[in-house]
Chain A
Amino acid sequence: MPSTVTRWSLNIITLVCLIYVYLIVTNQNMPDLSLLVGTNIQSFKIMFISIILEAFPFILIGVLISALLQTFVPEHVIQRLVPRNPILGVLYACVIGIIFPICECGMIPVMRRLIHKGMPLYIAVVFIVAGPILNPIVFASTFMAFRSRPEITYSRMGLAFICALIIGLIVYRFVRSNPLRHSHHEHSHGPTHGHTHEHSQEEHHHHGGKWNTVLKHSSDEFFEMGKYLVFGAFLAALVQTMLSREWLVSVGTGDLSSHFFMMAFAYIISLCSTSDAFVASSFISTFSAGSLLSFLVFGPMLDFKGTLMLLAIFKTRFVLILSLLIFTTVLAASLILERILFL
């Protein structure tokens, strides 16, 4: 509907003009729009394309596994695989990453499928937060990045485990309502399936067989999850090109504020958990070990592109609550660990 667009674009232009008028009246600096020219657009391109290229394989693996689960694994099998006891269930979800080492881009589509197949929500949440950290690839890369400080690697793993445990149990205890987005939300996104309704196995038998279905589901889901990924990568690249690290560092020095800073930084740059240790190790001269741990644990659990992808499966309210829960748990745990280990 063109009229909607016209109306909105008018509103947005008015808003931008008002902001500029305000800035002129109060005699402040104009926002830095030099991004639009020359080297900055090059830098932006490098960041943007590289984040996308790096994440694509993982999201493809994710949608493929999800489509395979959808087509070949009946619900009762999954329900049988998950322990009944919540504590056992959470523990089980914490360590599953060891045999299932993919990062959150791949994890989220798989989890959505599993929830629809009847996996309890708290288990899926633990998967989403623990999976990207508690796996052998991340362990190896962290160990290499902090070659001379192996205790950071062990603390990262331990902290992630503890946080995932706490988060899982809190979700188990307190979240009663169904936080999944309903199918009509999804249908508004395009010609994709509303994956909230379950197709039984047999329904897909006609037309080309099961592999056809797998392909169909993977390609539909790629677009559904991919748009969040691309948008997240877009924002992350924008921030990386515009804000200098020195400026960020000058904002975030101090005992507690360094934790906040490192977590915000992890959230914004949205790195894959397999490579973030390397970035963290470049901060070791400026930041305390505790705040680096906050970075290493918080980033994979929650970041820009991850949040957008979570919004694709969960209701906004639940995503907000979960984000807050992850934030407080990681902050508290890393502060405590810092007191015990590094002071």
Chain B
Amino acid sequence: MISSNRALGFHYLIRSVIVLSFSILITYLIKSGNINLYIAPRMLILVKLSAIGFYVIGMYQMYSAYRYLRNQSSMAVDCDCDHTPTGSVWKHIMIYSLFVFPLLLGFLLPNATMGTALASKKGMNLSASTTSRTVQAQPEAVIPEELVIIEPSSSNQPTGETTLTEEQLNALFVTDEYNEDFARLSKQIYQDDVIVVKDELFMEILTAIDLFLDSFTGKKVEISGFVYREPDMNQNQFVVGRFAMDCCSADALPYGVLVEDASAAKYKNDSWIKVRGQIETTVYEGNEIMVFKPESIESITAPESPYIYPNYDF
């Protein structure tokens, strides 16, 4: 009985160290701000709670370990279940190393941001809104007259006077029941001299532009992100992209915009830039997508939070 108590005590000791380490890992990631690289802010509260849970469990296991190692054999018979560890020592080593492995990775490897390597695995999304486009195609075809009248006049003076009337805007951004929110957003940003693709609305603005690409052609935009290239891209092309994360990095997907510029080769993959330019359309891999023709490209440092999060209520 005494030797099995000792064995149990060691098991609890190992477990408490593992569980407490997880708690410390989470705390460390939160304190250093690196938790953003793994988990979306909306999950943060749950992860914090789990750190507390681990702490409680870890302390309890530590206490059990202490009691077993002190040979309080009465502990061992507190219920009718068989506590004695069975199975080979190697099996236990295997199981515990399974838990230790992520801890080692977490503590020892430097934290990195998702960049081009993962973007190429996950596949860069270059037109944010293919979803809505197919749906939107029909209503646009139904009311062609209004469009024909308004469009030329507005695209002649795309920036300049931003005092478009309500009707003009409505004609530019034809609403149906599915794209209502995007049409509303489009009307807002269309009024800006330069459309800044903000982090908080990154995907939403890109989707809106992509949905109403014809109306937005010629407008000025500003966007920042990391540089990414597909293997088959031309010398003068690259993508400015960001990772959009919903819950955790495993579901994060890269979204980006194609940029065409003579100086493209200067910018290395994974470097962060801010591009200011004009929205045009181009055909890439058989699809008509938006392309930014830059007026200025500026190298920037990677932002504090490199990822963007879908905004559910814009």
Chain A interface residue count, Cβ-Cβ cutoff 8 angstroms: 78
What 0/1 readout, one digit per residue, does chain B (56-89) give for beta carbons within 8 Å of chain A? 1100110010000000001100111111111111
B82 touching A51, Cβ below 8 Å: no
One of A46, A276, A284 near B38 (C-beta < 8 A): A46
B87 touching A189, Cβ below 8 Å: yes
Tell me the bound Cα distance from A284 to B178 in angstroms: 15
Residues of A within 8 A of B130 (CB): 284-285
What 0/1 readout, one digit per residue, does chain A (212-244) give for beta carbons within 8 Å of chain B? 000110110011001100110110110011011
Is residue B49 contacting chain A, with contact meaning CB distance below 8 A?
A: yes
Q: Nearest B residue to A280 by beta-carbon distance?
A: B251
Give the distance to chain B from A278, nearest Cβ to Cβ, in Å. Answer: 4
Is residue B15 contacting chain A, with contact meaning CB distance below 8 A?
A: yes
What 0/1 readout, one digit per residue, does chain A (43-54) give for beta carbons within 8 Å of chain B? 101111111111
What 0/1 readout, one digit per residue, does chain A (272-289) give for beta carbons within 8 Å of chain B? 101110110110110000
Tell me the bound Cα distance from A146 to B106 in angstroms: 34
Chain B interface residue count, Cβ-Cβ cutoff 8 angstroms: 78
Listed stretches A82-90, A203-211, A333-341; interface member: A203-211
Tell me the bound Cα distance from A276 to B250 in angstroms: 10
Residues of A within 8 A of B115 (CB): 39
One of B81, B86, B122, B310 near A278 (C-beta < 8 A): B310
B82 touching A187, Cβ below 8 Å: yes
Is residue B46 contacting chain A, with contact meaning CB distance below 8 A?
A: yes
Tell me the bound Cα distance from A281 to B106 in angstroms: 30
Closest 6 pairs between A and B when the two form their complex, measured CB to CB: A285-B130, A275-B247, A50-B249, A148-B132, A57-B46, A50-B248
Listed stretches A15-23, A126-134, A193-201; interface member: A193-201
B92 touching A190, Cβ below 8 Å: yes
B50 touching A191, Cβ below 8 Å: no
**B positions within 8 Å CB-CB of A:** 7-8, 11-12, 15, 19, 22, 26, 35, 37-39, 43, 46-47, 49-50, 53-54, 56-57, 60-61, 64, 74-75, 78-92, 95, 98-99, 101-102, 105-106, 109, 112, 114-115, 117-118, 120-123, 125, 127, 129-132, 135, 178-179, 181-182, 246-251, 253, 310, 312
Residues of B within 8 A of A271 (CB): 250-251
Interface of A is mostly: helix
Q: Nearest A residue to B22 by beta-carbon distance?
A: A56
**A positions within 8 Å CB-CB of B:** 1-2, 4-5, 39-43, 45-54, 56-58, 60, 64, 141, 144-150, 187-191, 193-194, 197, 199, 203-204, 206-207, 215-216, 218-219, 222-223, 226-227, 230-231, 233-234, 236-237, 240-241, 243-246, 249, 269, 271-272, 274-276, 278-279, 281-282, 284-285
One of B85, B89, B250 near A54 (C-beta < 8 A): B250
A57 touching B49, Cβ below 8 Å: yes
Most buried by B among A2, A147, A150, A243: A147
Q: A145-B246, A203-B79, A234-B101 are in contact. List 5 more A-B contacts (CB 8 A).
A: A53-B47, A54-B248, A144-B310, A147-B132, A148-B179
Tell me the bound Cα distance from A222 to B60 in angstroms: 13
Residues of B within 8 A of A188 (CB): 86-87, 91
Give the distance to chain A from B35, nearest Cβ to Cβ, in Å. Answer: 8
Residues of B within 8 A of A274 (CB): 247
Give the distance to chain A from B300, nearest Cβ to Cβ, in Å. Answer: 22
Tell me the bound Cα distance from A112 to B226 in angstroms: 46
Residues of A within 8 A of B78 (CB): 204, 206-207
A51 touching B250, Cβ below 8 Å: yes
Q: Nearest B residue to A184 by beta-carbon distance?
A: B86
Residues of A within 8 A of B11 (CB): 190-191
A48 touching B118, Cβ below 8 Å: no
One of B38, B56, B90 near A50 (C-beta < 8 A): B38
Tell me the bound Cα distance from A153 to B179 in angstroms: 16
Q: Nearest B residue to A285 by beta-carbon distance?
A: B130
A218 touching B123, Cβ below 8 Å: no
Residues of B within 8 A of A53 (CB): 26, 35, 38-39, 47, 50, 248
Asked if A203 meets B89 with Cβ closer than 8 Å, knowing A60-B53, A219-B19, the reply is: no
B114 touching A43, Cβ below 8 Å: yes
Asked if A230 meets B123 with Cβ closer than 8 Å, knowing A57-B47, A272-B247, the reply is: no
Q: Nearest B residue to A233 by beta-carbon distance?
A: B102
Residues of A within 8 A of B131 (CB): 146-149, 281, 284-285
Tell me the bound Cα distance from A249 to B125 in angstroms: 14
Tell me the bound Cα distance from A64 to B49 in angstroms: 13
Give the distance to chain B from A292, nearest Cβ to Cβ, in Å. Answer: 11
Q: Nearest B residue to A42 by beta-carbon distance?
A: B112
A276 touching B181, Cβ below 8 Å: no
Residues of B within 8 A of A39 (CB): 112, 115, 117
